[in-house]
Homo-oligomer: A and B are copies of this chain.
Amino acid sequence: MDDSLLFNNFAKHISLTKAEEKYLKTLFEYKVFKSKEFLIQQGEISKQSAFVLNGCLRGYTIDSNGFEHVLSFAPKDWWIADMYSLLSQKPGNLNIEAMVDTEVALISKTNQDKMYEKVPKLERFFRIIIEKSLVAYQQRLNDNLSLTAQERYMKFCKTYPQLINDIPQKQIAAYIGVTPEFLSKLRAKQARTK
């Protein structure tokens, strides 16, 4: 499987020697998930982080009324994990599911810890990745506190132009925090006034 995307991703923040790359390759497992297959499901203890080589994943929770809430989409070149479960080694409440057939590079928690010992600069790499992720979640929380549904939808369209046409509208609704019916209404209104 072609993992050049993974190593280009590393190269964005640190530079690895050929030897380090070779060592790293041994720590990852490459796998294809069919559309609608789960990488993990709520209630399980998460054992690995995933990097998307191709396709798209989504991380979502299901609340006590059975409604889904999308915490993140992971198109190609993105990292995704149930950080809560992975760190605490307690059962998580995140489902990570393939939205289409998806190629991923997986690294187990054990191997990730080994990796930090052997190649400490990866500690920096993941610090930076996580910092960026933190900023994005802070921003999104702030948007949920301060913007209307309409504004959140417009922002989503601007931020993820490539996803808009590729993923079902109800998933976007579950991401911005409205019902599919209301998003449909918003879009109809937007189309009318354009």
Contact assessment for B177 and A138 in the assembled complex, using a CB-CB cutoff below 8 Å: no
Contact assessment for B137 and A84 in the assembled complex, using a CB-CB cutoff below 8 Å: no
What CA separation (Å) do A116 and B144 show in the bound complex?
Answer: 34
Count of chain A residues near B, Cβ 8 A: 33
- With an 8 A cutoff between CB atoms, is A31 at the interface? no
- With an 8 A cutoff between CB atoms, is A21 at the interface? no
Q: Which residues of B contact A149 (CB under 8 A)?
A: none
What CA separation (Å) do A139 and B93 show in the bound complex?
Answer: 10
- With an 8 A cutoff between CB atoms, is A29 at the interface? no
Which stretch of A2-10, A118-126, A162-170 is in the interface?
A118-126
Q: Is the interface of A mostly helix, strand, loop or mixed?
A: helix
In the complex, the chain B residue whose C-beta lies closest to that of A146 is B63
- With an 8 A cutoff between CB atoms, is A127 at the interface? yes
- With an 8 A cutoff between CB atoms, is A83 at the interface? yes
Q: Which residues of B contact A132 (CB under 8 A)?
A: 87
Contact assessment for A141 and B134 in the assembled complex, using a CB-CB cutoff below 8 Å: no
Contact assessment for B69 and A131 in the assembled complex, using a CB-CB cutoff below 8 Å: no
Residue of B84, B116, B130, B139 touching A130 (CB-CB under 8 A): B130
- A residues 124-164 near B (Cβ < 8 Å) are 124, 126-127, 130-135, 137-142, 144-147
Q: Which residues of B contact A87 (CB under 8 A)?
A: 131-132, 135
The 3 A-B residue pairs with the shortest CB-CB distance in the complex, in nearest-first order: A63-B146, A127-B127, A69-B145
Cβ contacts A to B, 29 pairs, < 8 Å: A63-B145, A63-B147, A67-B146, A69-B142, A69-B145, A69-B146, A71-B138, A71-B142, A83-B135, A84-B135, A87-B131, A87-B132, A87-B135, A116-B124, A120-B120, A123-B123, A123-B124, A123-B127, A126-B127, A127-B127, A130-B130, A130-B131, A130-B134, A133-B134, A134-B137, A137-B138, A140-B141, A141-B141, A145-B177
